[in-house]
Amino acid sequence: MIAFCQVSTAAHFSSASRRLRRTCCRNDTLTVGAPFCPTHRRNRVEKRPGTGVSILLPIAEERPQSRISPTCTFTPEKPARVAVLVSGGGRSLENICEKIDAGTLTCCGVSLVIASKKTAGAIEKAERRAIPTSVLRLRDFERDTARFSDAISNVLDEYNIDLVVLAGWMHFYLIPPRYEGKVVNIHPSLIPAFCGKGYYGHRVHEAVLEFGAKVTGCTVHLADNKYDHGPIILQKAVPVLDSDYADDLAARVFEAEKEALPEAIQMLVAGKLWVDGRLIRVRSESVSKSV
């Protein structure tokens, strides 16, 4: 007979093994194992001499912890240089600029707008504010994502960008190491629901309604090299009403986005965010940033 028992710590081994030993014959194999824990990726087996008992213990792996905010101290006199990547009309771009003008989003300024098509309405909005613009179209790179992403990164380098905001950006940006932790995305649902490749714009809201979800919202997260996958900075919930059509729901979710995205940007430039595995920790006070 093979008997199994889970223990939370090695300290609980003795009592667990005694209880099981009473139900096992001398030649039976007794294994005492650790419970599943997401932070435990490997296990080790300890054999206890003279007992016929093996104990399965987790090897805890330390989760990486690092500050994710940009690497300079940002002040009103030395604001973070923000690039906004857009594919459409630029409503989120306009919202960010208005928050900066009103003084509710501080220590940063929009220094560059990159559009994925020449007809994007965001270009006109940027030009009215004398913000430099660049148009990079995927088709001009033979739909090669790597070359397209390299071109984006090169333009960001040219303008010494500190923080990249994907605001209605419809293409995959392959983030190089030098911009890891410096790219933020906003998605119009509560990740991990209704997200991933193919979920963008009205498609998200239509999927929410078709599924019959009662709550949706928006998510601001650090972007990584997977669709809608990086650690979540903040989320705002929006109720789904029985009378909603996709346009109705999209309008209410965008109102939540107008608050969520500037709030996340403010926390980033203030140096309040730390990454701990997939968790982002928020500090109530600004922390010093290493140069």
- For 236-253, give one letter per residue: b (16+ CB within 10 A) or e: bebebeeebebeebbebb
User: Active-site residue 187, yes or no?
Assistant: yes
Question: What end-to-end distance do the CA atoms of the chain give, in Å?
Answer: 61
Provide the residue type at 196 as one letter: G
Q: β-strands 80-86, 163-166: how paired?
A: parallel
Given the residues 40, 187, 221, 229, the one annotated as active site: 187
> Token pair 């990584």 is at which residue?
224
DSSP string, 226-285: STT-SPEEEEEEEEPPTT--HHHHHHHHHHHHHHHHHHHHHHHHTT-EEEETTEEEE-SS
Which residues partner with 114 through β-bridges? 85, 134
Helix 121-128 to helix 91-102 angle, to the nearest 10 degrees?
Answer: 20
Which residues partner with 134 through β-bridges? 114
Cβ(273)–Cβ(285) below 8 Å: no
Active site residue ranges: 187
